């Protein structure tokens, strides 16, 4: 069984490869269920105005800074960290410097007690310990 939105379909979407389309058809069989998804009005509003309006008073976040602007605020130690930054995987508990900085937010927590996770990992851990 295959669910197809009226807006996105594996049959017409150019971003889906032929092999993925074929696999989808093999898994789903011949039965196709059309699913009508109503537009999420707030998302449609932001899609239209978020990057074109001169003033946007309905955002839930602040206006961002470019990397150059952000680094102008940094001290020499932080600039040095950026200059020597290596993008890639880090230790499984999180980068030691990040864990150290997080531990400073608490009175009786050291960096060895801090675990840095992405949201789905944190949700998984929490739900499995409740």
pLDDT at 58 over 60: yes
Does one domain contain both 99 and 120? Answer: yes
| Average of per-residue pLDDT across 76-100 | 91
pLDDT at 125 over 60: yes
For residues 121 and 113, the answer to whether their CB atoms sit within 8 Å is no
pLDDT score at 76: 95
Does one domain contain both 88 and 116? Answer: yes
| Average of per-residue pLDDT across 94-106 | 94
Q: How much of the chain exceeds pLDDT 90, in percent?
A: 32
Does one domain contain both 101 and 121? Answer: yes
pTM for the model stands at 0.46
Q: Domain of residue 73: give its range.
A: 67-129
Does one domain contain both 4 and 31? Answer: yes
Does one domain contain both 76 and 107? Answer: yes
- Least confident piece of the model among 4-13, 68-77, 88-97: 4-13
pLDDT at 43 over 50: yes
How many domains is the chain built from? 2
Helix count and strand count (H, E) for the chain: 6, 2
Kindly provide the b/e burial profile for residues 35-48, where b requires at least 16 CB atoms within 10 angstroms of the residue's own CB: eeeeeeeeeeebee
Three-state secondary-structure class, residue 118: coil
Rg (CA), the chain: 23
Q: Which pair of structure tokens corresponds to residue 22?
A: 């074929």
pLDDT at 18 over 80: no
Does one domain contain both 46 and 72? Answer: no
């Amino acid at each position: 069984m295959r669910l197809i939105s009226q807006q996105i379909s594996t049959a017409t979407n150019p971003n889906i490869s032929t092999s993925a389309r074929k696999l989808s058809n093999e898994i789903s069989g011949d039965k196709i269920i059309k699913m009508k998804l109503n537009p999420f009005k707030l998302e449609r509003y932001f899609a239209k105005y978020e990057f074109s309006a001169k003033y946007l008073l309905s955002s839930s976040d602040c206006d961002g800074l470019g990397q150059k602007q952000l680094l102008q605020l940094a001290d020499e130690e932080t600039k040095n960290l950026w200059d020597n930054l290596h993008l890639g995987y880090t230790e499984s508990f999180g980068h030691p410097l990040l864990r150290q900085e997080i531990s400073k937010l608490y009175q009786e927590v050291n960096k060895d007690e801090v675990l840095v996770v992405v949201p789905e990992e944190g949700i998984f851990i929490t739900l499995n310990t409740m």
